[in-house]
Amino acid sequence: MNNDSRAADFSAMSRLSADIDLDAEGKATGFVRVPHSVHRSAYGWIPIPIVRIKNGTGPSVVMQAGTHGDEWEGQIGLGNLIRTLEPRHIRGKLVILPSANFPAAMAGLRTSPIDEGNLNRLFPGDPEGTITQQIAYWIEHKLLPGANYSFDFHSGGSSLTYIPSALAPRHDDQARMAKVIGMLKAFGAPVSYIAAVPQGFPVPPPSPTRLTEIGGDDYYVYASDGGLFEPLVDLGAEVKAGQPAARIHFHHTPWREPETLAFKRAGLVLCKRVPARCERGDCLFHLATDIAG
């Protein structure tokens, strides 16, 4: 194989491979094998669970979770789906990758303990890179091509808890923005919000959701110092500008008066950091505000 033909066939460059046929009919469970030679296992591989469910022709959908290993809700949800969904329930194909960054998931961490890789920040990946870069490359070049829709389930992980919600990208183009809002209504999460994220989605028909958006820095409350974070409001609260958001208590000097932080603007509390410890610069809360839709 010369260099030109290698460059043309990106998927062939990946060291990763699924041990099930992702295009065959019916339901199959298996693993994406990530070659990883370590002291404990010289010729070993990391097994990333993967499931294919296919019934004839129809849309091709990819669902993944565990891109951040400590975000447990999506991983449990997709596990439940794997155990209950059968080919007769669908038309088309669904491929489920419930713990995409499997090493991170096994460690209960946002990032991989092997290379500190944050899978969500490593696309389109590198076939010759670190383990997490190789996983990103395989997902981008082998799993996603040919899929009509893809869903990536995230949550707040170890440091944040979110109100159940759907996130979609903000577009300058009004027609595209209208499609995104249509998609959010179709998905029907209790709250939907729009922020600057890199990817777009296609559309379907409407159902009720509260449409909100995240604006600039004033939507966020950050820790001004390291300490013990005491939240003063809960998820779903409607807050006013200037309202106290949190107190930071000082572990080393508990006799020191805690620092009180306030919201910079009014809004819905969409996301809250999980107590206890915070460091200066950690996000403690972020707000969303309603938009017309």
* Residue among 14 and 111 whose Cβ is closer to Zn ion: 111
Closer to Zn ion at the Cβ: 120 or 224? 120
| 155 versus 212: smaller Cβ distance to Zn ion | 155
Give yes or no for residue 68 binding Zn ion (CB under 5 A).
Answer: yes
Q: Is 273 in the site for Zn ion (CB under 5 A)?
A: no
Over the window 131 to 170, marking each residue x when it contacts Zn ion by CB under 5 A and - when it does not, the resulting string is -----------------------x----------------
Stretch that binds Zn ion, among 4-12, 67-75, 261-269, 284-292 (CB under 5 A): 67-75
Instruction: Supply the minimum distance, in Å, between the C-beta of residue 236 and Zn ion.
Output: 21
Task: Compare residues 65 and 94 and give the one whose CB is closer to Zn ion.
Answer: 65
Beta strands 244-249; 267-273: pairing state: unpaired
179 contributes a contact to Zn ion by CB under 5 A = no
Q: Give the residue with the Cβ less far from Zn ion, 71 or 214.
A: 71
Q: How far is CA 246 from CA 164, 208, 219, 263, 268, in A?
A: 22, 32, 14, 9, 15
CB closer to Zn ion, 160 vs 232? 160
Smallest separation, CB 70 to Zn ion (Å)? 9
Please tell me whether the peptide bond between 124 and the residue prior to it is cis, using omega within 30 degrees of 0. Answer: yes
* Binding window for Zn ion (CB under 5 A); candidates: 19-27, 40-48, 63-71, 189-197: 63-71
End-to-end CA distance of the chain: 54
Interface size with Zn ion, residues (CB under 5 A) = 3
Rounded to a whole number of angstroms, the minimum distance from the CB of residue 59 to Zn ion is 25
- Other beta carbons less than 10 A from residue 41's beta carbon: 10
Q: Is 265 in the site for Zn ion (CB under 5 A)?
A: no
176 binds Zn ion (CB under 5 A): no
Contact residues: Zn ion, CB under 5 A: 68, 71, 154
